[in-house]
Amino acid sequence: MSISGKEIALILSDHFDAAELDGLRACLSRAGALISIVGDKADQTLTDWNKQVQISVGVSYEEAHSYNFDAVIISDGYTPDDIRASSSALSFIRDMYDSGKIVGAIHHGVQVLISLDILKNKNVTGWPSIRIDLENAGATYYDEPVVIDGNLVTGRGPSDLEAFCDAIIDELRRLSEYAA
Whole-angstrom Cα distance, residue 38 to residue 64? 7
Active site residue 15: no
| Sign of the Cα pseudo-torsion (58, 63, 67, 72, in order) | positive
The catalytically annotated residue of 15, 65, 107, 108 is 108
Q: Which residues, 6 or more positions from 9, have their beta carbon under 8 angstroms from its beta carbon?
A: 36, 38, 59, 64, 68, 69, 71, 72, 73, 92, 96
Rg (CA), the chain: 15
Local structure of 173: helix, strand or coil: helix
- Spatial CA neighbour of 76 closest among 150, 26, 13: 13
Interior angle at CA 161, CA 45 and CA 95, nearest 5? 60
Q: Which residues are catalytic?
A: 108
